[in-house]
């Protein structure tokens, strides 16, 4: 049985998946999206002029207008890889009795591609879902309702998940790498900065510098 904590939640881009900070940015670059348009939308979000939902909708519509297909996105993400130790860590945490969750502002296509064998171990997967028609043409995006608020609201997602499990966020561990994990890493009972930015490392309870997720198994028993 787990010790002090009951649930472990993971970020995806840069945490469970290596080689990238944000999948959106990589796909924009690979598919040759206009950097000016992409940058303007990002700045509008960071300046608080648009919500995360509006930003994700804008970027998705940009892809749709440019005829992006599932195949094109898969070709782009295939260069990424599963983080060192991720599969072992997921299986072992499940074996130890922890509930597992994914909280990501990324894309489900990445989880489906790289983590399909271990998806069954997660009780909660909160991530944007790309919608394709039968020919694989991109048609839209389903954004989790928790991302309705201003910002990406990962801490709201953690609260919602904890509520559903009948536990407190103090019983939860969160593992992330970027500054957009700042609020949720503070919300969690144990915040782990993994291969993370200096700002996130500063805010976290524990910092893991070695790029191997199995390090987590030494921290939570």
Binding site for Mg ion (CB under 5 A): 11, 13-14, 177-178
The pairing of strands 81-82 and 190-194 is unpaired
Q: Which is nearer to Mg ion, 6 or 17 (CB)?
A: 17
Is residue 32 classed exposed, middle or buried when 0-12, 13-18 and 19+ CB atoms within 10 A define those classes? exposed
Mind telling me the catalytic residues? Answer: 11, 13
Q: Which is nearer to Mg ion, 171 or 177 (CB)?
A: 177
Write down the least CB distance from residue 82 to Mg ion, Å: 14
Distance CA 121, CA 107 (A): 19
The CB density around residue 65, as the number of other CB atoms within 10 Å, is 10
- Find the residue with minimal CB distance to Mg ion: 14
Q: Which is nearer to Mg ion, 11 or 59 (CB)?
A: 11
Count Cα atoms within 13 angstroms, Cβ side, for 182: 9
Write down the least CB distance from residue 3 to Mg ion, Å: 26
Write down the least CB distance from residue 106 to Mg ion, Å: 8
Q: Which is nearer to Mg ion, 14 or 189 (CB)?
A: 14
Write down the least CB distance from residue 148 to Mg ion, Å: 21
Alpha helices in the chain (DSSP H): 23-30, 35-46, 52-65, 70-77, 86-95, 108-114, 154-165, 182-187, 198-203, 215-219
């Amino acid at each position: 049985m787990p010790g002090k904590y009951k649930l472990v939640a993971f970020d995806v881009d840069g945490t469970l998946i290596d080689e990238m900070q944000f999948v959106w940015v990589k796909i924009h670059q690979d598919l040759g999206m206009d950097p000016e348009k992409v940058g303007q939308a990002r700045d509008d979000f960071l300046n608080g002029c648009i919500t995360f939902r509006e930003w994700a909708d804008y970027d998705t519509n940009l892809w749709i207008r440019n005829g992006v297909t599932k195949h094109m996105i898969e070709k782009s993400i295939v260069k990424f890889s599963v983080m060192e130790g991720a599969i072992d860590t997921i299986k072992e945490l499940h074996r130890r009795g922890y509930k597992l969750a994914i909280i990501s502002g990324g894309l489900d296509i990445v989880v489906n591609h790289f983590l399909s064998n271990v998806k069954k171990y997660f009780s909660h997967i909160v991530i944007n879902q790309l919608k394709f028609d039968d020919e694989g043409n991109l048609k839209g995006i389903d954004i989790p309702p928790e991302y309705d608020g201003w910002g990406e609201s990962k801490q709201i997602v953690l609260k919602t998940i904890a509520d559903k499990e009948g536990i407190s966020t103090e019983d939860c561990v969160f593992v992330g790498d970027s500054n957009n994990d700042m609020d949720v890493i503070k919300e969690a009972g144990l915040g782990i900065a993994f291969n993370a930015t200096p700002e996130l490392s500063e805010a976290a309870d524990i910092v893991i510098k070695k790029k191997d997720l199995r390090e987590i198994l030494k921290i939570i028993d």
